[in-house]
Amino acid sequence: MAQQSSRTAEIREYAKRRDGNAEALLTDLLRDLFQVAAHNLAINHDQYSLNSLNGFFEANGKPYFFKFHQEENEEEMSGEYYRADILAKAGLPVDQPVMMSTLPGEQILVYRRRTDPRFSDVLRELDGLNDEKTALQAVAAERHLNEAVLAVYLKTLHAVTQEEVAREPVHRLFYDRLVTAPQGNYPGGRLASYYVGKDFQFPGVTLSWSELSQAHFVINGIEYSETLGQLFDASHARLAPARLADGGGVTAHGDAHNANVWFERKQDGATLSFFDPAFAGEHIPTLLAEVKTTFHNMLAHPYWLYDPSLAEQIFKAQARFADGRLLVDFDWRLSPVRAALFETKAQSMWKPLLAALNQKGLLPSDWRRVVRLAFFLCPTLVMNLRAGAANHNPTSSLIGLSVSTMVGSEPVSGADLMTRFFDAIDPER
């Protein structure tokens, strides 16, 4: 059913306002797409639904779970979406939908309802608990998933053309958020609407975008070589789809953050499986394949991205601006379980994957740069990090933009969390 505008976008807007029209419109959409009469429909309002909507309904006496991801200008998108069969055929652990619409602006997946928690919910509890048994179980499950996914990456790794790469929908999560469709104007998209021309309030100082974008961050005593403005410009240049063919391609989920992962407890441990393959593909640039899962599952926690109000209560942050430098001090750090997951991701996924690329002559000389820039776009363009926009406050905004700089830019000197990560996964070290 072709539409001039996105019905899913309209539903999301109503849902954000807690307007009952969202449920009515969603009920109509399910009827039109799948010829089902949805009853007891409930929309989940959770912190992980930054660009998506999910919930539950019943039809024909059976319980279902639905989810859809919605992007700006989705009705103008070209290509295929929600290709769950690609992942299953490749051997990735993925929950298959029982109903599916791939029409732009009406993309939605419906699954049988499960009682398993999402991995994001399990880890959210572990961030605030000293539950060593469950933490070890979670890290082991992560390692087993990495091993299974890595096997598929190595099996499907291949040289790709610029045209094949450019057709992959995963770019909607990175490059396409920097520009305004259809002309591709830069700066545009979310970058322009979130940040350009705005003021930024931090604990201790308020800056204009002109000041902030040109400021060199000094975070807990470590100065970073590139400004936010330079990192956005570099991302626009290097993450352009046609430029990402130099690292080969793999079959991948592309957006496997833990709110898209089921956690299933078993007698001998726990297993993880994917759902919502909105950006799955067979030619996803290899260096992008694990970016979203690495950043959003580890570096976005605890609290600052998804629970800004809690971050404001737990962490202290302060900034001052002098001589073009933003001097930032805060006490945020990875929680123990996130640090363990980060180490596991480095050793069981990134290190062997980069080694395989290097062996096949598919590892770009600037691979660190590519991965850093992709990490940088994860938090800055997934939601508006400016205080007063969305749910962010001065403290979470300062932490968020500082972490974004830390993952995107090399330090002028010294070592930090990210330099140690990249040194650990470097195949030539």
Q: What CATH code is carried by the domain that includes residue 80?
A: 3.30.200
Residue 221, exposed/middle/buried by CB under 10 A (0-12, 13-18, 19+)? exposed
Task: Tell me, yes or no, whether 322 lies in a domain.
Answer: yes
Q: Give the per-residue pLDDT at 253.
A: 96
Domain end residue (candidates: 55, 90, 112): 112
Shared-domain flag, residues 340 and 411: yes
Mean of per-residue pLDDT scores for the chain: 94
Shared-domain flag, residues 129 and 73: no
Please tell me which of 6-15, 97-106, 351-360 the model is most confident about, judged by mean pLDDT: 351-360
Task: Tell me, yes or no, whether 246 lies in a domain.
Answer: yes
Q: Which of 25, 43, 395, 60 is nearest to 200 (CA)?
A: 395
Task: Tell me, yes or no, whether 371 lies in a domain.
Answer: yes
Task: Tell me, yes or no, whether 1 lies in a domain.
Answer: no
Over the stretch 186-234, which tens digit does the pLDDT of each residue have? 999 999 999 999 999 999 999 999 999 999 999 999 999 999 999 999 9
Shared-domain flag, residues 349 and 392: yes
Into how many domains does the chain fold? 2
Over the stretch 33-81, which tens digit does the pLDDT of each residue have? 999 999 999 999 887 767 789 999 999 999 999 998 777 665 554 444 5
Shared-domain flag, residues 73 and 152: no
How many whole angstroms separate alpha carbon 282 and alpha carbon 266? Answer: 31
Shared-domain flag, residues 149 and 32: no
Shared-domain flag, residues 17 and 144: no
Shared-domain flag, residues 348 and 219: yes
Task: Tell me, yes or no, whether 395 lies in a domain.
Answer: yes
Q: Give the per-residue pLDDT at 47.
A: 79
Shared-domain flag, residues 35 and 177: no
With H, G, I as helix, E, B as strand and everything else as coil, classify residue 35: coil
Q: Give the per-residue pLDDT at 3.
A: 41
Shared-domain flag, residues 62 and 197: no
Over the stretch 163-174, which tens digit does the pLDDT of each residue have? 999 999 999 999
Provide mean pLDDT across the span 360-382: 98
Shared-domain flag, residues 123 and 140: yes
Domain end residue (candidates: 60, 78, 112): 112
Q: Give the per-residue pLDDT at 74.
A: 56
Question: Which residues have C-beta within 8 Å of that of residue 246, sequence separation ≥ 6?
Answer: 362, 364
Shared-domain flag, residues 70 and 193: no
Task: Tell me, yes or no, whether 2 lies in a domain.
Answer: no
Shared-domain flag, residues 277 and 384: yes
99 phi and psi angles, rounded to 5 deg: -140, 145
Domain that holds residue 93: 7-112
- Angle at the Cα of 290 from the Cα atoms of 288 and 294, rounded to 5 degrees: 120
Domain end residue (candidates: 91, 112, 133): 112
- Tokens coding 360: 């096949």
